[in-house]
Amino acid sequence: MTSQWRARTGRIAVLTGAGISTDSGIPDFRGPRGVWTKDPIAELLSTYQSYVSDADLRARAWLARRDNPAWHAVPNPAHNSLADLERAGRAVTIITQNIDRLHQRAGSSPDRVIEIHGNMFEVVCIECDYQTTMAATLERVAAGEPDPPCRDCGGILKAATVMFGQQMDHRTLTKATITAETSEIFLAIGTSLQVEPAASMCSIAVGSGADLVIVNADPTPYDAMATEVVREPIGTAVPRLVAEILAA
């Protein structure tokens, strides 16, 4: 029976995508009202080669970062319930594709959240080791620098996120892979499971004996290997599943 997975007592891995944050007012990318669906050019802002080669695109990207709804977003019941699962004593590690840090703000331990696509609150230089905060860089934009260069080397600055066409951090990916391999329950929440290598964490987990549970509005390429697929809204589904896990 599909319900038996709830009683497993081992490690729980959670892969979260943009869908978990839509109830917090942050639009997803590929949905009907997604950022890229409504504005295809916006996808270029997340494409490394386009960003590096086009100063006008970078200027637009800084304004998009300034206007990102994540600055004012608060965790929703799905984020909060995953933090509650950890607080209840379960070994939970969250692998998130999101850059909004809502898991940490909900109370999930920072060292139990693996940000495989980085975060939007820090800025790095593509040429040297310079790092600073997004807030400080946006102050430069507001002061009249549409595309602020690195203060150390004059190189191009970008958010500390992994763009399309950019290599993921090897240590972060290794940590995520080990998390998938050692889990007994693998929850995939609010992700289309179309972006690799994040999506392949599902097959890694199943191959190591985990039960895969997918919570997503639309079908995914990994539904066939899932123990259970949940289509109900994430904001109600995740708190319900967490309550069932804790009651099992």
Give pLDDT, residue 139: 98
Q: What is the dihedral of CA 232, 228, 176, 240, to 10 degrees?
A: 50
Count Cα atoms within 13 angstroms, Cβ side, for 118: 19
Give pLDDT, residue 43: 66
Question: What percent of the chain is modeled with pLDDT above 70?
Answer: 92
117 catalytic? Reply is yes
Grade residue 46 by pLDDT with cuts at 50, 70 and 90.
confident
Q: Are residues 140 and 233 in the same domain?
A: no
Which one is catalytic: 72, 79, 103, 117? 117
Kindly report, residue by residue over 184-196, the tens digit of the pLDDT: 999 999 999 998 8
- Rounded distance between C-alpha atoms, residue 234 and residue 21, angstroms: 9
Q: Are residues 54 and 135 in the same domain?
A: yes
Rounded to an integer, the average pLDDT of 91-118 is: 97
pLDDT of residue 1 exceeding 80: no
Q: Are residues 107 and 136 in the same domain?
A: no
Q: Are residues 95 and 202 in the same domain?
A: yes
Q: Are residues 35 and 100 in the same domain?
A: no
Last residue of a domain, one of 130, 161, 192: 161
- Rounded distance between C-alpha atoms, residue 127 and residue 66, angstroms: 23
pLDDT of residue 36 exceeding 60: no
pLDDT of residue 164 exceeding 50: yes
Q: Are residues 145 and 194 in the same domain?
A: no
Task: Give yes or no for a contact between 220 and 45, defined as CB atoms under 8 angstroms apart.
Answer: no
Q: Considering the chain, what is the average pLDDT of its residues?
A: 93
pLDDT of residue 56 exceeding 60: yes
Q: Are residues 243 and 181 in the same domain?
A: yes
**Structure tokens, 10:** 């081992």
Q: Are residues 56 and 174 in the same domain?
A: no
Q: Are residues 123 and 189 in the same domain?
A: no
Angle at 204 between CA 188 and CA 207, to 5 degrees: 110
- Rounded distance between C-alpha atoms, residue 203 and residue 190, angstroms: 17
Last residue of a domain, one of 161, 187, 215: 161
- Rounded distance between C-alpha atoms, residue 189 and residue 180, angstroms: 14
Residue 153's CATH number: 3.30.1600.10
Give pLDDT, residue 37: 47
Task: Give yes or no for a contact between 18 and 97, defined as CB atoms under 8 angstroms apart.
Answer: yes
Neighbours of 50 (CB within 10 A): 18
Last residue of a domain, one of 99, 128, 161: 161
pLDDT of residue 238 exceeding 80: yes
Q: Are residues 139 and 246 in the same domain?
A: no
Q: Are residues 190 and 224 in the same domain?
A: yes
pLDDT of residue 28 exceeding 80: no
**Structure tokens, 243:** 């309550």
Give pLDDT, residue 196: 86
- Rounded distance between C-alpha atoms, residue 214 and residue 191, angstroms: 9
Q: Are residues 124 and 233 in the same domain?
A: no
Largest CA distance in the chain: 61
Kindly report, residue by residue over 113-149, the tens digit of the pLDDT: 999 999 999 999 999 999 999 999 999 999 999 999 9
Grade residue 45 by pLDDT with cuts at 50, 70 and 90.
confident
Query: How many domains is the chain built from?
Result: 2
Grade residue 39 by pLDDT with cuts at 50, 70 and 90.
low
Residue 190's CATH number: 3.40.50.1220
Count Cα atoms within 13 angstroms, Cβ side, for 205: 31
Task: Give yes or no for a contact between 13 and 187, defined as CB atoms under 8 angstroms apart.
Answer: yes
- Rounded distance between C-alpha atoms, residue 137 and residue 30, angstroms: 29
Q: Which domain holds residue 41?
A: 30-67+119-161
Grade residue 211 by pLDDT with cuts at 50, 70 and 90.
very high
